[in-house]
């Protein structure tokens, strides 16, 4: 494999990011706290080579299909498609050879360090997915303190496609827990899961339950509640159905550091994962993921928004991170 390359983005307000060619990984997002001190607010490894053995999808670009597909199979038209198994009998985050394991090619790196454009080609039947698919991701930073993530894709055959970005945020990196962070999600419904973290195929109302984040709430407030879904996930690891697309999907804030993150997207869902299985170099709940995406196992749940990408049809999606001080 070619060596891992780093691409630094920066704006005029002290906010910067480092993107890796390997996995399209967001290695750093550096923002000021209330005192003006610049710190990295995403979990990462010190050495780039450590990402080769990463099992947490740290900061990675995920594809072709984020989240889980039950029994690693689905029907596409009349064809039964079998994908590689990489989580028991199920398929997770694009399989062993997903986008997170690719060294992405550079398309364009802005001389003012305002954006970087990366590209990969995923060949027919790679990890079992039909079609030769080309995917590009563009990371952009601006002086409004936003980082935008845009995906473009096209396949020469009908396939499924559901990319996401898998950064673990901790707005107060001096504290190894995000349980005091406050979270608000623009969602009044979520998708319950079974013991394999696969969706039950239904959408449940979250109001007045531990999954109610319609108002700012500390993540740790109800995470240890006597709730079957929280026990299955050992915390939060669920997809929330967004009430309105291309608006604010989620707001994350930390009182001690004064940092605030607003996420907006055109996707129908956001996976909230509270870092329940972090271990080794990291501690449980040291970071959290807010992954904008289509619903998990959509190809096997026809009542969910489709992830089918028709042959030669152009795919586009955008998610924006907006950083500020509370």
- pLDDT of residue 294 exceeding 80, the answer is yes
Average pLDDT over residues 85-100: 97
**pLDDT value of position 235:** 98
- Quote the CA–CA distance of 72 and 219 in Å, as a whole number: 32
Q: What digits encode the pLDDT tens for the residues 201-243?
A: 999 999 999 999 999 999 999 999 999 999 999 999 999 999 9
Q: Which pTM was predicted?
A: 0.97
**pLDDT value of position 2:** 72
- pLDDT of residue 1 exceeding 80, the answer is no
Average pLDDT over residues 15-35: 98
Q: Given its phi and psi angles, is residue 48 left (phi above 0), alpha (psi -120 to 50 degrees) or beta?
A: alpha
**pLDDT value of position 247:** 77
Token pair belonging to 61:
């670009």
- Which position has the higher pLDDT, 247 or 34? 34
Q: Given its phi and psi angles, is residue 179 left (phi above 0), alpha (psi -120 to 50 degrees) or beta?
A: alpha
DSSP 15: -
- pLDDT of residue 246 exceeding 70, the answer is no
- Quote the CA–CA distance of 154 and 27 in Å, as a whole number: 27
Q: What percent of the chain has pLDDT over 70?
A: 99
- pLDDT of residue 122 exceeding 90, the answer is yes
- pLDDT of residue 51 exceeding 70, the answer is yes
**pLDDT value of position 196:** 97
Average pLDDT over residues 142-151: 98
Partners of 278 in the β-ladder: none
Residues labelled as active-site residues: 166, 291
Domain 6-325 has CATH 2.70.98.10: yes
**pLDDT value of position 244:** 78
Domain boundaries, the chain: 6-325
Residue 233 in 3-state DSSP? helix
pLDDT, the chain, mean:
97
Token pair belonging to 17:
């990011």
Q: What percent of the chain has pLDDT over 90?
A: 98
| Side-by-side strand order, sheet with 133-141 | 105-109, 115-122, 133-141, 146-155, 315-325, 259-265, 247-253, 182-185, 217-218
- pLDDT of residue 186 exceeding 80, the answer is yes
- Quote the CA–CA distance of 284 and 275 in Å, as a whole number: 6
Average pLDDT over residues 34-38: 97
């Amino acid at each position: 494999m070619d060596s891992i390359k780093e691409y630094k983005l920066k704006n005029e307000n002290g906010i910067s990011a480092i993107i890796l060619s390997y996995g399209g990984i967001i290695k750093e997002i550096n923002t000021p706290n209330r005192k003006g001190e610049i710190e990295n607010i995403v979990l990462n490894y010190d050495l780039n080579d450590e990402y080769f053995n990463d099992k947490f999808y740290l900061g990675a670009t995920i594809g072709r299909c984020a989240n889980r597909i039950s029994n690693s199979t689905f029907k596409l038209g009349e064809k039964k498609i079998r994908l590689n198994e990489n989580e028991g009998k199920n398929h997770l985050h694009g399989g062993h050879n997903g986008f997170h394991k690719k060294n992405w090619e550079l398309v364009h790196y802005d001389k003012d360090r305002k954006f970087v454009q990366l590209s990969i080609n995923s060949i027919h039947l790679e990890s079992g997915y039909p079609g030769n698919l080309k995917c590009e991701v563009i990371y952009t930073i601006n002086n409004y303190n936003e980082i935008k993530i845009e995906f473009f894709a096209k396949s020469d055959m009908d396939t499924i496609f559901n990319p996401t970005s898998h950064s673990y945020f901790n707005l107060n990196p001096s504290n190894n827990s995000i349980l005091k962070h406050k979270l608000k999600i623009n969602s009044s419904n979520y998708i319950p899961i079974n013991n394999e973290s696969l969706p039950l195929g239904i959408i449940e109302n979250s109001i007045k339950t531990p999954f109610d984040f319609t108002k700012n709430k500390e993540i740790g407030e109800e995470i240890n509640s006597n709730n079957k879904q929280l026990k299955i996930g050992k915390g939060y690891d669920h997809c929330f159905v967004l009430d309105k697309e291309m608006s604010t999907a989620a707001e994350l804030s930390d009182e001690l550091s004064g940092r605030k993150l607003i996420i907006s997207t055109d996707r129908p869902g956001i996976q909230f994962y509270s870092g329940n299985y972090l271990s080794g170099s990291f501690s449980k709940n040291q970071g959290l993921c807010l992954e904008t995406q289509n619903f998990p196992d959509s190809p096997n749940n026809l009542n969910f928004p489709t992830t089918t990408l028709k042959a030669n049809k152009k795919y586009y999606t955008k998610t924006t991170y907006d950083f500020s001080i509370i």
